[in-house]
Amino acid sequence: MKASESQYLSVRGLRYHVRSWGNPGAPKLLMLHGWMDVSASFQFVVDELKSDWHVLAPDWRGFGLTDWTSANSYWSPDYLADLDVLLDSLYPGEPANIVAHSMGGNIACLYAGIRPARVARLVNLEGLGMRDSRPEDAPKKYAQWLDELGREQRLRTYASFDDLAIRLRESNERLTPERARFLATHWGTPTDDGSIALRGDPLHKRVNPVLYRGSEVAACLRQISAPVLWVEGELTDMYGKFRLTREDLDARRNEIPDCVSKTVPGAGHMMHQDNPEAVAAMIEEFLC
């Protein structure tokens, strides 16, 4: 495995962890992980990159080694603002090449339309977005959020890293034992009682009170000036989870002015873990 290093930046009052691989003098490549993931998950893709890159991968707020927020909830505008500050520090005065997965892909696509001059090229690994909300969903959503404010949120703990690795493979049958064990040591951390807790703020489980408005997302996507590679896994199950149809996704992707699509064979939503060789090859073909 290629060795990584850690640095910490002050980002909007939080101590932000950024993992990096490669020569600092090489072309930079920013990688943004998804929900309940960590920057170390890109290790397998980084190992398969053939060109010389300086890969930079932050842990989003509330995940990995980055501070948790003191707010009541996590929502997209905070991630957008964090990304804005991170780019000021990591890509001063130049547009960024970005590879982003799932939630990270959602944020990166929005950002690329909000700050089009800041993004050179974008590889979107199943940043599919959510089902479009309806205005009449608002009362129920706000009520649910208010109810959850009064309840403690918890994440499951595990007896050992091996147990966590087993759970990861139960969630993704394509994950090899070796990769699962590696991920477990980065997703989890020992607690005082010897159990393993996930490196994530339990408040991520709290419902977001703000509706996902498809028309606003589409307006952002239409403003993207960077070329975009839209990547999906051949075996993905995310359409059903997000209650999206093929037509929904095609319409959303088609809002991006300069966009090409590719499919990763033999991979599900966690394509960077399932088939990192193919993902790395697609990234470099698109960026080089």
Domain ranges of the chain: 4-133+213-287
Mean pLDDT, residues 213-236 taken together? 96
Partnered with residue 11 across adjacent β-strands are 14
Cβ–Cβ under 8 Å, residues 233 and 268: yes
Residue 30 has pLDDT above 90, yes or no: yes
Question: pLDDT-based confidence at 11, cuts 50/70/90?
Answer: very high
Question: pLDDT-based confidence at 227, cuts 50/70/90?
Answer: very high
Residue 20 has pLDDT above 90, yes or no: yes
Mean pLDDT, residues 42-53 taken together? 98
Mean pLDDT, residues 193-206 taken together? 94
Residue 24 has pLDDT above 90, yes or no: yes
Chain CA centroid to CA 14, Å: 18
Give CA–CA dist 38/49, Å, rounded.
19
Q: Around Cβ 19, how many Cβ atoms within 10 Å?
A: 24
User: Tokens standing for 79?
Assistant: 């991630």
> Percent of the chain beyond pLDDT 70?
100
Give CA–CA dist 288/18, Å, rounded.
24
Mean pLDDT, residues 180-209 taken together? 95
Residue 87 has pLDDT above 80, yes or no: yes
Cβ–Cβ under 8 Å, residues 28 and 18: no
Q: What is the pLDDT of residue 242?
A: 78
Architecture of domain 4-133+213-287: 3-Layer(aba) Sandwich (3.40)
* Distances 140 to 84, 112, 143, 150, 243 between C-alpha atoms, Å: 32, 31, 5, 16, 18
Report the relative pairing of strands 188-190 and 228-233 from DSSP bridges.
unpaired
Question: pLDDT-based confidence at 88, cuts 50/70/90?
Answer: very high
Output the average pLDDT for the chain.
95
Q: What is the pLDDT of residue 213?
A: 93
